[in-house]
């Protein structure tokens, strides 16, 4: 018996998540769960298959219905995998087994990456002799990694964290920014850092090209007369 489950073909195709290639598993998993739920198929993953009971004639219909939904669910999950992952997991016998296998491998993998990213985020400190703007971009990549691991950081806290992690030579500039931290946005902060870095770079270049005659001079007068020296 064929079942008319879920949405039409065009609606199903438009709602289908992008294929999974082994990265950002949790985001893909959530989208798959939503998609399968709208198709009326996710219930076969959340529940066990019905057990056969000879005393209930209608039980065979329930079992056949479950098998049909499981087959469709299993096939849709496989179709949302990359070709390489399809070859690995196509031998699974049910949608529930496939779902658990993917969850066990990639959820634990992403948990390890999240711990690593959190550690790098906490220990991150900008260093001298390297572009502050470039180091800020590196820090924002860590923040993005935390957001993808369901640990988003509010924009205001991002601004404060970047100011806090500026190198020692930027301490005075950082103090002026701290007084504005409630008013400055993340985009504004990046503009200000770019301007300040260019200003500091230009100041260093000007000092390097300064003529030697403009260097400060100290005139030392030595008197041979001790009494005059004392006076």
153 vs 30: CA distance, rounded Å: 20
* Whether 72 contacts 35, CB under 8 Å: no
Q: Give me the pLDDT at residue 91, please.
A: 95
CB atoms within 10 A of CB 159: 22
pLDDT, tens only, 107-163: 776 666 666 677 788 888 899 989 999 999 999 988 887 887 678 888 888 898 999
User: Angle between the 186-208 and 155-164 helix axes, to the nearest 10 degrees?
Assistant: 20
Question: What tokens does 164 get?
Answer: 């806090």
More confident residue, 177 or 12: 177
Q: Rounded to two decimals, what is the model's pTM?
A: 0.49
Distance CA 44, CA 5 (A): 13
Q: How far apart are the first and last CA of the chain?
A: 118
Torsion, CA 145, CA 149, CA 151, CA 157, rounded to 10:
10
Q: What is residue 44's predicted lDDT score, i.e. its pLDDT?
A: 94
Please name the helix (run of DSSP H) or strand (run of DSSP E) that holds residue 1, with its range, or none: none
Tell me the mean pLDDT in the region 75-93: 95
The strand ranges marked E within 77-216 are: none
Checking if the pLDDT of 4 tops 50, the result is no
Q: At residue 101, what are phi and psi to the nearest 5 degrees?
A: -65, -45
Average pLDDT over residues 89-111: 87
Sign of CA dihedral 51, 57, 60, 63: negative
pLDDT digits (tens, 9 = 90+) for 12-38: 666 789 999 988 888 899 999 999 999
Question: Given a cut of 60, is residue 71 above it in pLDDT?
Answer: yes
Q: How many CB atoms lie within 10 A of CB 207?
A: 8
Token pair recorded at residue 83? 């070709």
- Lowest-pLDDT range, 28-42, 68-82, 121-135, 173-187? 173-187
Backbone angles phi, psi at 34, to 5 degrees: -65, -45
């Amino acid at each position: 018996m064929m079942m008319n489950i879920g949405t039409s073909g065009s609606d199903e195709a438009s709602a289908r998540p992008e294929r999974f290639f082994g990265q950002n598993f949790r985001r893909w998993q959530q989208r798959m769960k939503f998609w399968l739920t709208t198709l009326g198929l996710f219930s076969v993953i959340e529940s066990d298959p019905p057990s056969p009971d000879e005393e209930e004639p209608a039980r065979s219909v329930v079992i056949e219905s479950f098998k049909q939904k499981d087959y469709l669910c299993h096939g849709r999950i496989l179709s949302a995998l990359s070709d390489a992952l399809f070859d690995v997991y196509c031998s699974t016998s049910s949608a529930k087994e496939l779902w658990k296998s993917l969850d066990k491998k990639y959820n634990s993998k992403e948990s390890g990456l999240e711990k690593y990213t959190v550690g790098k985020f906490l220990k991150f400190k900008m260093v001298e002799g390297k572009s502050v703007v470039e180091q800020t971009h590196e820090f924002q990549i860590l923040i993005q990694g935390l957001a993808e691991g369901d640990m988003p950081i509010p924009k205001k806290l991002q601004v404060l964290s970047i100011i806090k992690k500026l190198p020692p030579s930027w301490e005075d500039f950082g103090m002026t920014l701290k007084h504005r931290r409630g008013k400055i946005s993340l985009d504004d902060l990046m503009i200000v850092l770019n301007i300040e870095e260019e200003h500091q770079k230009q100041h260093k270049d000007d000092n390097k090209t300064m003529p030697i005659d403009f260097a400060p001079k100290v005139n030392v007068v030595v008197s041979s007369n001790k009494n005059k020296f004392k006076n």
